[in-house]
Amino acid sequence: MQGALAQRGQGLRPAGRSGRGQRQVPRAAVARRNRISRSQVVVSASAVASQAKGVVGHNGSASAAAELRDANATLEMSRTVLGIILGGGAGSRLYPLTKNRAKPAVPLGANYRLIDIPVSNCVNSNVTKIYTLTQFNSASLNRHLSQAYNGTVGSYNSRGFVEVLAASQSPMRKEWFQGTADAVRQYMWLFEEAVRDGVEDFLILSGDHLYRMDYREFVRKHRESGAAITIAALPCNEKNASAFGLMKIDEEGRVTEFAEKPKGDALKAMAVDTTVLGVDPATAKEKPYIASMGIYVTKASALKEMLEVHMPEANDFGNEIIPGARKMGYKIQAHAFQGYWEDIGTIEAFYNANLALANPLKNDFSFYDKDAPIYTMSRFLPPSKVVDSEIHNAIIGDGCVIKSGSSIRNSVIGLRTLVQEGATIEDTLILGADYYETKEECSFVPGCMPIGIGRNSTVRKALLDKNVRIGDNVQIVNKEGLKEANREDEGFIIKDGIVVIVKNALIKSGTVI
């Protein structure tokens, strides 16, 4: 009973639900797995084929046979695919949000963290063996993953886990991670243990992308093609193509050429017929280029050869390993992804992607998908309370208090945020707070300034990190119209015209920024 209660307390959930009756993460994923009995799991492929042949013209039996094949494929994903999420380096493009946390641990969409996106995609695709590789400030990331997923991913007959692998030194190797490929190389000894347990393919993901993807189709196409590496490819138009690394393919979808952010004639030369990858003709005409998304499926044996035998000094997947593998004759295949995808590894991209979640005209990504939910840690916070205030196009996270006379427009308000009377918040992303603060605790802060937004303060086009204390009558409006400014000693910086208030900063009453 104690074990059951402990597991219940640490379950995952789609954010926005808390307390009794909430939807626990793995139950959504595991339920799909467990619909098929153990006897069905061991049905051989030949038996399934025989059953399928005998049910022509019998819709019910045909449907059952198809469901059985799908279920077996789903179970195969759990056993034969290992998820490897690359946490990235120091996250300098997202600084100061990465000052005290790893990039995948940066809060997202009021209730989540960046790491929840690839992990949830894995869980929904029945990939339940997941490692996250990181090198910097991994404490909060490790805490989040252990509390959110490890108690519930997997089942009695399916060993699942979500673990952080931090860079470390050993007697054999003194260096830290030198790049994405080197990070995988340094932990290949551990990944080989998974291979001995039946893993055939590595699913390599990034920790700073916003998208929803069913990896089962991705892996299936990879295996059908017989490729050593399959790259997720995003069709794009000429205007956007020059910002990406592009690929050229042949009539079978095999990658024949790479070009990093080409322009002019070099860009036009990278146009391809994307109908080869299953893109409809209208979209193919509009978007004749395919960009690498930095998402790969690789044969485990082939990747080990590349990293340890053929290219032991290469450190980066996109610039070294994959182009090098193509030149050596390895088959590199492209797989078209036609959904929403955004690299949110910069302050501007991160800010825009978050605010788009609250904008009904720009909301290409939604957390409100019951078939493929995004999971996060259960916090059991109370519902948010709004008192006599105006709110337009906003997302309010769990446990917030919006006091009377406040106005919130085009903004995302994170967990536990306190907005005092008469505050105005526009085009702003607030990451929230890590804890509630009592008056007694607040008394230890000079002037007893509580965490949150003070009375009659105005915050416009800003990004507020966690636990910030904004006094009364403060104006955060970028009065001087600066594009860039580093005033971290004063509690803020400006990037791309966005005022970023650093974590735990105190902005005194009456301040104008």
- Residue 89's domain is classified under what CATH number? 3.90.550.10
Which residue(s) pair with 391 in the sheet? 408
Mean pLDDT of all residues in 445-450: 77
With cut-offs at 50, 70 and 90, classify the pLDDT of residue 345: confident
Q: For 29-37, what is the mean pLDDT?
A: 40
Q: How many domains does the chain have?
A: 2
Query: What is the pLDDT at residue 97?
Result: 94
* Residue 33 resides in a domain: no
Residue 299 has pLDDT above 60, yes or no: yes
**Rounded-to-integer distance, Cα 312 and Cα 321, Å:** 10
Domain boundary among 358, 393, 415: 358
Q: Answer yes or no: do 470 and 345 share one domain.
A: no
102/203 same-domain check: yes
Cross-strand bridge partners of residue 174: none
**Residue 40 confidence (pLDDT):** 36
Q: What are phi and psi of 124, to 5 degrees?
A: -65, -20
The pLDDT value given to residue 470: 96
> Residue 204 belongs to what domain range?
70-358
Q: Tell me how long the chain is.
A: 513
Tens digit of each residue's pLDDT (9 = 90 or more) over 128-177:
999 999 877 778 888 898 888 876 675 545 578 898 888 766 666 667 77
Integer Cα distance of 26 and 449 in angstroms: 41
Cα pseudo-dihedral 151, 156, 162, 167, rounded to 10: 110
Same domain, residue pair 129 and 232: yes
Percent of the chain with pLDDT over 90: 64
- The answer on 242 and 130 residing in a single domain is yes
The pLDDT of 203-229, averaged and rounded, is 95
Task: For residue 199, give both structure tokens.
Answer: 């893993």
Give the pLDDT score at 67.
54
- The answer to whether residue 109 is domain-embedded is yes
User: Can you give the CATH number for the domain in which 402 is found?
Assistant: 2.160.10.10
* Mean pLDDT across 1-24: 42
Inside any domain, residue 21: no
The reply to whether 436 and 471 lie within a common domain is yes
Antiparallel, parallel or unpaired: β 289-299 and 201-206 = antiparallel
Write down the mean pLDDT value for the chain: 84
211 and 273 co-located in one domain:
yes
What pLDDT, in 10s, does the model give residues 75-86?
588 899 999 999
User: Is pLDDT larger for residue 292 or for residue 21?
Assistant: 292
DSSP state of 422: T
On whether both 236 and 144 belong to a single domain, the answer is yes
Are 353 and 448 in a shared domain? Answer: no
Residues 213 and 111 in one domain: yes
Among 219, 283, 276, 233, CA closest to 253: 276
In a domain, 185, yes or no: yes
Residue 441: which pLDDT band, with cuts at 50, 70 and 90? confident
Residue 294 resides in a domain = yes
In the predicted structure, residue 371 carries a pLDDT above the cut 50: yes
354 pLDDT tier (thresholds 50, 70, 90):
very high
Q: Is residue 41 assigned to a domain?
A: no
467 vs 130, 143, 273, CA distance in Å? 30, 18, 50
Judgement on whether residues 146 and 259 belong to the same structural domain of the protein: yes
Q: Are residues 218 and 122 in the same domain?
A: yes
CA-to-CA distance for 89 and 316, rounded, in angstroms?
A: 12
Name the residue among 168, 35, 109 with its Cα closest to residue 432. 109
In a domain, 465, yes or no: yes
DSSP letter (8 states) at residue 318: I
**Do 176 and 235 fall within a single domain?**
yes
Q: What is the arithmetic mean of pLDDT over 96-115?
A: 93
Q: Report d(CA 287, CA 268) in Å as an integer.
A: 12
Q: Answer whether residue 7 is part of any domain.
A: no
Q: Please report the sign of the dihedral spanned by the C-alpha atoms of residue 79, residue 82, residue 83, residue 87.
A: positive
